[in-house]
Each structure stands twice: as C-alpha cells, then as structure tokens.
A = this chain, B = another copy of it.
Amino acid sequence: MARIVQKYGGTSVGSIEKIKMVAERVIEACREGNQMVVVLSAMAGQTDGLIAMAKEINPDPDLRELDVLMSTGEQVSVALFAIALKSLGYEARSLLGFQAAIHTDDLYGKARIRDIEIDRITRNLDAGRIVIVAGFQGLNARGDITTLGRGGSDTTAVALAAALDADVCEILTDVDGVYTTDPNVYRKAQKMDFISYDEMLEMASMGAKVLEIRSVEFAKKFNVPIHVRSTFSKERGTMVIAEIKDMEKVAVSGVAYNKNEARITIRKVPDQPGVASRLFDPVFKAGIVVDMIVQNTSQDGFTDLTFTVPKGDFYKTMKLVSDVGKDVGAETVLGDEDIAKVSIIGVGMRVHAGVAKKMFSALAEKNINIIMISTSEIKISCIIEEKYTELAVRVLHDTFGLNHAKEEIL
C-alpha cells in the first residue's frame, strides 16, 4: 500500500463531466490499495472570473480580500469532487486550507507555506477516506485566508506529500510529461522519463510551464518524487527526482526558450564603484525582476551594461534607467524588445567538456547572431534575435542528440 498525493489542475476538473472522470481515476488508485490525498485547483476559468469581478470594483483590489475571493474557486472544486466520489460509493472528505491546517506567512496573493499539521488528514486517511484538499490556499497566523500565487496548487500538493511522507506526488495535467523541448516548436521533442530537480527548475524558469517553480524547490528540499503525467491517459509520464549519477552521462537534457524578455543596454557607463548599484536601484524598487545581466570589461574608464527584463516591464524600465543613466553620466540607453532567450540545460554539462563551444558553433552555422551569453553550472543561455527562436531550438535539439528517447540511460 502506497500513500499517494495527486494534484489535478484546472483543466482536469474544468467541467462536471471531467470531475466525474477524474473521480473514477482516483477511485481506481484507491481500489489498488493506495491511501489517496487529492489536491485540486479551481475549475478552469473560475479564478480569472473572480479576479475580473474584483477589478470591476477596483483595478487594484485589496489583497487580503482578493484572497478570500479567489479561494472560493478551489472550494467549489473540492466540494463537487467529494460529492462525485460519494455518489460513486466512496468515503471522501473535502478539506479547505484552514481545515487541512496549511499555515502560511502573511503575503496575501503569494504566501509561502510554513507548516502543515497533518492530524486531520491522517485521521481521515486512517478511517479509509479519500481526502480532497483545496489547493492554492492556506491560513496565516492571524486566521486570514491566504493564497499561494499562480500555480500554487502544485506547491500545496508537494508540501502535503512532504508532510505526509507520501511515496509520490503525482501532478496530473493536460500534457503527458516533461519534454526535451516544446513539442509545438519541434515535433522531434521527446518525453523524458526522468529529470533532476535542478534541471526541472531551469526548465520551469525558462517557460516550460508544466510545474510551478516553487513546488520544484519544495520537492528538492524535502526530496519528494514528483510524477508529471496526463490526466487523460494511464501512460507513465516524467519523474522529477533527486540527481543520480547516471544523469550526467548526457551532456544536455533539454532545450528551453523564452520570448518574454526585452533587452536594455546602457552605453558608456563611468566605471566607478557603486554605479551598477545606483543604476539598478530604481528598477529593483519598482519590483521589476531582472533576469540576465552582462557587463563588459571596462575600456578607457567606461563600460557597457546590458540586462533583460520581462517584456511587460520594458517601457517602465527604460524610463527608470534613462533617468538614472543621466545622473550617473552614461552616454545613452538603448532597448530592444525583439529578442528571445534560448537555453540548453543538463547536469551532464559539469562533466562534459566543450558543451558551450558546441552550442555557439551550432548557432553560428545557421547564421544566428548571439547577442548575450549567460551561464550557470547546468545551463547555458543565449539571447538571440526573436525571429530565430524556433530555428535555434531545433538546431540545438539536433546538435545535442535529443531527437530520440534515451531510455537506456536510466
């Protein structure tokens, strides 16, 4: 008998028909002798509908109350799901954030889970019940409802799996696993059988939106195995697990891309201590997330500074940086929205030499100019012209031998 936490996303419970279907699936796992904890998101579209109502009152609604409002979405899902399970003759109990004792910090709209008291859940499991927990929500120390931010149900599921010492946390979604790259961009993309937490973190942050990034961090911290698989098939999906030695046999596990960045370059910045700090200060204060930062070696006491921000923050950032650029005596500020980031990811990079050179050569062969480069231990990212994104992804996928499943490795 295994203890399994399953999480179903909004599209998986997006209609009464789907709720009934998913209920059958949970029952099947239950019949196989497993203890089942099911975490649900709001039915697809619900959360957006609720937010729209709030924004009709105020474009910038109070965050505490917005959480009270949004948390009803998951409440509706778990109640309907419990009704479905009981209709099929199975004992079930829905638990909301406050009932499942999911304690969070105070950050409305993006709260972090502090701890979970599992007593009520385990009592129900021991009584033979299927426990259905509302994802995305918790309770802060003041007794207020909080929500965990977009994708928060993944975090709920992983945190519950950790707290309950579950054998696996299954994330059931509308894709059947994690792919070597976006199958919509390259039809030769392969479903991976395994991926390490660190690789998944890099993939997720690059826009491979299968798993919410915080849930992967959580899973890594508590070593919770995650199984990403399709709601609508029984096929094995992708296991996200701790790194094992064999993973390093492959240099590159996947190719990711992100078209949602814009580049800003500040030319001829006086190369003095504290200048970079002054330049970025207003940007950070505005809550804008800067991704890549590249600073060239100084020439004649001046340097160029280039960085990327989300496209949505581009104009705001240009304004902020232009103002402060003048103050520090920089020559000019340039911006470019038509860029994309292409990255190769793999824990094997650490042991395979020449991966970066191979990447740059492959891009050069197709006449794709590299605008910026940034590297980490298991990732190399290049900023290129946006129009070359798809071409770059395909070339790199071919170059690093990702076009065929590599089951032999693990």
Residues of A within 8 A of B (CB): 16, 19-20, 50, 53-54, 56-58, 61-62, 64-66, 68-69, 71-72, 75-76, 78-80, 82-84, 86-87, 93-94, 96, 98-99, 120, 143-145
Contact = CB atoms under 8 A, between A and B. Distances in A.
B80 A57 contact: yes
A94 B72 CA distance: 14
A57 B99 contact: no
A120 B143 CA distance: 10
A75 B76 contact: no
A80 B53 contact: yes
A66 B79 contact: yes
Contacts of A20: 57
A75 B58 CA distance: 18
B62 A69 contact: no
Contacts of A144: 99
A16 B57 contact: yes
Contact of A83 (B54, B83, B94, B145): B54
Contacts of A76: 50, 53, 69, 72
B143 A99 contact: yes
Contacts of A96: 68, 145
Contacts of A58: 83-84, 86-87
A255 to B, nearest CB: 42
A353 to B, nearest CB: 57
17 contacts: A19-B57, A53-B76, A53-B80, A54-B79, A54-B80, A54-B83, A57-B83, A57-B84, A57-B87, A61-B87, A62-B82, A64-B93, A65-B79, A68-B96, A69-B79, A72-B79, A99-B144
A96 B80 CA distance: 20
Most B-side CB within 10 Å, residue of A20, A68, A86: A68
A38 B166 CA distance: 44
A39 to B, nearest CB: 15
Contacts of A19: 57
A105 to B, nearest CB: 18
